Structures are given as C-alpha cells and as structure tokens.
Amino acid sequence: MKLYIQSYNNFEITDTIDQFVKSKFSLLEKIVYDDSSECFVSLGRTTNHQKQGEVYRVFVELKKGKENFQVEETHEDLYAAIDIAKDTIEYKITSQSQKKRSVFKKAAIAFKNLLRK
C-alpha cells in the first residue's frame, strides 16, 4: 500500500507527525491485502483565524481497486483526529468486506439448495 501525506492551509508537517501518520496507517496493510492500493492523507487546520484553539482536519481517501473509501475528521488535537480517522476508515473497509462475504455465502447456500432438489 502506498501512503501519501500532504498538507493544506499553510500547515507544516513535522517529522514526528509524519512518523505518527505512517505508523498508524501502515496497520491498514493487514486489512487491505493489495500492493496497488493508495492511501492519501491530508492534514491541516480548518481556518487560519480561530479565536480559541486550533481545530485540525484530517481527510483520508483510500483507493483499493475499484473501491474508494473516504473519511473526514475534525478535532482540537491533531493526533486524536488522526486516530479517529484511522479507526473510522478501518471500520468502513472491514464492514464492506463482511457485506461481500455475506452476499457470497447467501448465494452459495441458494445454489446448494438448488442442487439438492
């Protein structure tokens, strides 16, 4: 899986943030099973003129074959936003694969019952 990290809104990605993102999203390789898949992670602030605190936005797009998964999270803590985005996209990928598996099982059961008759 190829991982691309980019920033927007004049946000600087430091080495620690880069390593954190790589360590979190490298865990998705166990779920994706595809070398040609691509994961785009965009990090930045929502605006440059917050009155209280900074609100960070993390946008993740994962392309796996013909399937695209997208997640957008905002949080006051950048690391928390990255964690939440990773968990959300992991949930979307696993739920999609479970749906495909259950549809395949239903079709196999129907075919088996058809052969029994």
pTM, to two decimals: 0.79
CATH number at residue 20: 3.30.160.100
Per-residue model confidence (pLDDT) at position 30: 83
Instruction: Specify the residue for token string 């440059």.
Output: 48
Among 56, 64, 110, 63, CA closest to 84: 56
* Least confident segment among 40-44, 76-80, 100-104: 100-104
Residues 48-73: tens digit of each pLDDT: 666 666 689 999 999 988 889 999 99
- CA distances 102 to 35, 58, 60, 91, 96, Å, are 25, 32, 27, 16, 10
For the chain, what is the domain count?
1
Determine the 3-state secondary structure of 58 from DSSP: strand
Q: What range defines the domain where residue 95 resides?
A: 2-116
27-49 pLDDT, tens per residue? 888 888 777 889 999 999 887 66
CB-based contact 37:3 (threshold 8 Å) = no
